[in-house]
Amino acid sequence: MHAAPVTSKHFIIQSFALSHSKAFATGLLLAQRAFRIFILSLGILLIPGIVLAYPSSIVFSPNGEAKPLGTVGLLAYGAANLSPKTTPGSSWFGIQAGLLPQWKYGESGVSFGGLEAGFDIITPFDTPDSAVIKPVLNVKLGVITEGIYTPSLSTGLMEISPNLPSMDFVYFAATKTLRASPNATSYGRLTIGYGLNAGNRGQFNGTFPFHNTRSALMAAYETPLIAGRLGFMIDYLGGSSEISDTYIGAVLNMSSTTAFGAGAFLANDRANSPNDGVFFYLAETFDVTGLAQKL
């Protein structure tokens, strides 16, 4: 059986309907993809238990780096006090994300820029009246990435609370890998920084070398990774505050995106029954832009 011939009028009508049908289907597909990305992003921001908005750091001292655009860092941090008595410590939950690109400077190997921001929840946070949930915000600007002979530099503002007394901690940090050239043996990484309590005076008091001031020294060292997985660190964030202690610990890279850390913290002010204890954290890092492309 032969098909009946199609007149030019019918052909135009069919072509018109087909083109509009394809356009509608394409638009629907794009809308579905945009909706899935929106839901994914919303889930990343709102699901409880996927975690830390703290700036890129060693333990609590911010380092000289800023997250690249589209990189999201998640961390859950917990602690327990062992001295002067055994009690649960505060936990931190939040999310941190790179929001601006970094611009390469010719063939030098260094880049300028980069901006990360985040949101944390500290729970429970002790106040004179009771223990509460304390939200804190932070923002960190990358100045320059690490070069052969120069450190990475960053500046930022953290521990900003919208509804409770806060430190409003302004800082500058520099981080340098200890090696003679990019391909030479690494002897670890060193971070040096300075912080200033620009907020509520009751939230911070300086210790060595800035006793009883608003200033804090930040100093940290990270060892090279053993077999690309296991490393050790010591992190001094001066002062007495919600983030200030001396931290000694280890970190295990469980995968290319997941790390588990644990160690001990020692109060910087050793007078008046100092709080010492242990901490642990689980960190996750992934690229949202790469994830969105797979949807």
Rounded CA-CA distance 14/227 in Å is 65
Supply φ then ψ for residue 201, to 5 degrees: -65, -30
Q: Considering the entire predicted model, what is its pTM?
A: 0.79
Rounded CA-CA distance 99/117 in Å is 7
pLDDT at 182: 82
**Average pLDDT, 10 consecutive residues per value, the chain (295 residues):** 38 41 48 43 34 73 95 94 93 94 89 95 78 92 94 97 94 96 92 98 97 98 96 98 97 95 97 93 89 61
Supply φ then ψ for residue 22, to 5 degrees: -65, -40
* Cis ω for the linkage preceding 165 (within 30 of 0): no
DSSP state of 208: T
Region label for 100, one of left (φ > 0), alpha (ψ between -120 and 50) or beta (otherwise) = beta
The C-alpha torsion from 54 through 55 and 61 to 66, rounded to 10°, is 160
pLDDT at 83: 94
Residue 127 CA: distances (Å) to CA of 131, 202, 274: 6, 11, 18
Element spanning 78, H or E: strand 71-83
Rounded CA-CA distance 235/219 in Å is 6
Q: Report the residue count for the chain.
A: 295
pLDDT at 173: 98
**Beta-bridge mates of residue 123:** 91
Q: Enumerate residues 6+ apart whose C-beta is below 8 A from 186.
A: 177, 178, 179, 224
Q: How many CB atoms lie within 10 A of CB 276?
A: 16
Rounded CA-CA distance 62/191 in Å is 8
**Beta-bridge mates of residue 137:** 119, 160
Evaluate whether 92 touches 122 at the Cβ level (below 8 Å): yes
